[in-house]
């Protein structure tokens, strides 16, 4: 009995550790295809020509926890066709993945349980059974303050057989070298897979009838959350306009091949690409009541942050030129970056109550942030993720001004890029480099490199950051997540 409880708590902690950024790409299929809500596409090369197939894909994912080992089982069912060529493909796959968590890293291993594939074209049938397919994949995931980065590699060998399975007349062997890399963040998520295929065809009846080819398939899955300001056309309405969030998948497939020309000499070299988008999902945001920000350069930025409840929704005055407090910054961050807040205590059931009592016994994380503090849940939320860690010795100083150096440090910590900064002594290039606190230097350097902070002559690290500047900084950061990061994970790999 005790054992069970122990494993249960372990599961709970595991689940907690895995409950992560809200935006994550949904990967269609087990490798190299793209889809939207109702259509799936991929390319196969086994006949010696690139054949684009489309159709439907059913995905089932189940999760299990046994003795603290988390496993996921994926079942894919493909039903694809190419009308023009009269080709059909049916494929059923079962994969299982086991996870191992170590601090902020999770490694996982995927293996193939069951596989069957039947491809029909021109009266010819290519078949693959589980025994003829060796496939495995390893992945590592790294969690930073806000983002998750992951990379994986796989290798596989698949043998298609034509004719009798035991004594096939023709065989196509496809060797796969694959890798993937991606990230999940609250404003965008991208995964890019690169698959290299080495294809060898052999006719068992005729010795000279054989060919070799190579193909590369790159698939990129992107999910981006974007915002738009929508103005109302009537002038006589209680609100002039508001923000809308759209969330959308954009899947890109690019392939290039070097295949034989089945009739004639030379090779068949080429490349192509395609995109499938999903229909955007729309959310309207609340309309903030702010008035004293009108006419400011950063008005739209401030309104956007306020729409997401980063600043008060109901206040009419923000004081855009006054400094932002550390607690308020935590709130703005938590609400714009979808940071999970600690659960509100409820007293519905007895177990809940007992848990609550336990919680009350645990000391406060920060002695200067009582539960009654207006920013308590946000401060807890950002502290849980290690984004803001207090000023040391159990203090958070929630009602102190936030300096520019602190704000910059927090944003880079969200990204987890501080480790990319140079080692040893170096200069960030700002004229006031010497006044940047030691703990902020790496972060300031990286923020400057990534254009999150402007490349001005001076940085003024110890100057408090105003609410207007906070809004601009956060919107810049959102744009960074939406565009630059996506570029690095997609265009930089595909092109």
Q: Which is nearer to other proteins, 319 or 394 (CB)?
A: 394
Q: Cβ of residue 246: shortest distance to other proteins, in angstroms?
A: 5
Is the separation of the CB atoms in 142 and 132 below 8 Å?
A: no
Q: Can residue 274 be called a binding residue for other proteins (CB under 8 A)? A: yes
Q: Which of 273, 283, 322, 354 binds other proteins (CB under 8 A)?
A: 273
Pairing of strands 69-82, 124-129: unpaired
Q: Can residue 455 be called a binding residue for other proteins (CB under 8 A)? A: yes
Q: Can residue 103 be called a binding residue for other proteins (CB under 8 A)? A: no
Q: Can residue 268 be called a binding residue for other proteins (CB under 8 A)? A: yes
Q: Can residue 269 be called a binding residue for other proteins (CB under 8 A)? A: yes
Q: Cβ of residue 228: shortest distance to other proteins, in angstroms?
A: 5
Residue 94 and residue 111: Cα distance in Å, rounded?
Answer: 9
* Residue 86 burial by Cβ neighbours in a 10 Å radius (0-12, 13-18, 19+): exposed
Q: Can residue 425 be called a binding residue for other proteins (CB under 8 A)? A: yes
Q: Which of 2, 67, 84, 393 binds other proteins (CB under 8 A)?
A: 393
Q: How far apart are the first and last CA of the chain?
A: 56
Q: Which is nearer to other proteins, 292 or 449 (CB)?
A: 449
Following DSSP, what letter does each residue of 283-317 receive, concatenated?
EEPP-----TTTT-TTHHHHHHHHHTTSS-SS-S-
Residue 96 and residue 486: Cα distance in Å, rounded?
Answer: 29
Q: Can residue 487 be called a binding residue for other proteins (CB under 8 A)? A: yes
**Among 306, 274, 266, residue whose Cα is nearest residue 289:** 306
Phi/psi of residue 277, nearest 5 degrees: -110, 155
* Residue 216 burial by Cβ neighbours in a 10 Å radius (0-12, 13-18, 19+): middle
Q: Cβ of residue 125: shortest distance to other proteins, in angstroms?
A: 30
Number of residues this chain uses to bind other proteins (CB under 8 A): 49
18: which residues sit within 8 A by CB, 6+ positions away? Answer: 70, 101, 106
Q: Cβ of residue 255: shortest distance to other proteins, in angstroms?
A: 11
Q: Which of 111, 399, 449, 460 binds other proteins (CB under 8 A)?
A: 449
Q: Which is nearer to other proteins, 15 or 269 (CB)?
A: 269
Q: Which is nearer to other proteins, 91 or 448 (CB)?
A: 448
Q: Which residues bind other proteins (CB under 8 A)?
A: 226, 228-231, 244, 246, 248, 252-254, 261, 264-269, 272-275, 277, 280, 282, 363, 367, 392-395, 420-426, 445, 449, 451, 455, 483-484, 487, 491-492, 494-495
């Amino acid at each position: 009995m005790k054992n069970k409880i122990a494993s249960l708590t372990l599961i709970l902690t595991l689940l907690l550790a895995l409950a992560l950024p809200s935006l994550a790409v949904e990967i269609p299929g087990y490798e190299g295809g793209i889809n939207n809500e109702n259509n799936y596409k991929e390319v196969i090369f086994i006949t010696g020509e690139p054949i684009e197939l489309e159709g439907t894909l059913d995905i089932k994912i189940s999760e299990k926890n046994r003795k603290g080992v988390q496993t996921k089982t994926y079942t894919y069912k493909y039903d694809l066709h190419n009308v023009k060529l009269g080709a059909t493909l049916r494929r059923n796959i079962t994969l299982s993945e086991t996870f191992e968590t170590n601090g902020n890293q999770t490694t996982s291993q995927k293996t193939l349980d069951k596989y069957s594939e039947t491809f029909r074209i021109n009266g010819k049938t290519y078949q693959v059974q589980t025994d003829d397919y060796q496939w495995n994949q390893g992945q590592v995931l790294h969690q930073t303050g806000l983002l998750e980065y992951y990379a994986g590699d796989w290798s596989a060998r698949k043998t298609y057989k034509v004719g009798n399975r035991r004594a096939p007349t023709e065989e196509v062997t496809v060797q796969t070298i694959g890798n993937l890399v991606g990230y999940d963040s609250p404003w965008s998520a991208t995964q890019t897979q690169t698959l290299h295929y080495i294809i060898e065809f052999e006719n068992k009846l005729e010795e000279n009838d054989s060919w070799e080819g190579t193909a590369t398939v790159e698939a990129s899955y992107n999910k981006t959350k974007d915002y738009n300001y929508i103005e109302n056309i009537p002038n006589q309405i209680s609100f002039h306009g508001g923000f809308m969030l759209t969330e959308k998948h954009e899947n890109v497939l690019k392939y290039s091949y070097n295949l034989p020309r089945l009739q004639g000499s030379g090779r068949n070299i080429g490349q192509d690409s395609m995109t499938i988008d999903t229909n955007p999902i729309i959310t309207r945001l609340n309309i903030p009541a702010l008035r004293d920000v009108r006419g400011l350069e950063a008005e739209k930025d401030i309104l956007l942050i306020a729409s997401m409840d980063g600043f008060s929704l109901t206040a009419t005055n923000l004081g855009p030129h006054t400094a932002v407090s550390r607690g308020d910054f935590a709130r703005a961050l938590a609400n714009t970056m979808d940071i999970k807040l600690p659960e509100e205590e409820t007293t519905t059931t007895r177990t809940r109550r007992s848990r609550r009592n336990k919680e009350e016994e645990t000391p406060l994380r920060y002695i200067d942030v009582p539960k009654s503090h207006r920013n308590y849940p946000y401060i807890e939320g950002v502290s849980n993720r290690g984004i803001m860690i207090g000023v040391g010795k159990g203090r958070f100083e929630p009602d102190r001004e936030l300096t520019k150096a602190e704000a910059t440090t927090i944003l880079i910590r969200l990204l987890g890029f501080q480790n990319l900064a140079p080692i040893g002594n170096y200069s960030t290039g700002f004229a006031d480099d010497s006044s940047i606190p030691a703990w902020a230097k790496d972060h300031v350097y990286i923020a400057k490199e990534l254009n999150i902070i402007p490349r001005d002559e001076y940085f003024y690290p110890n100057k408090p950051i105003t609410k207007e500047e906070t809004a601009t900084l956060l919107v810049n950061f959102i744009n960074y997540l939406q565009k630059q990061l996506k570029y690095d994970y997609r265009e930089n790999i595909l092109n």
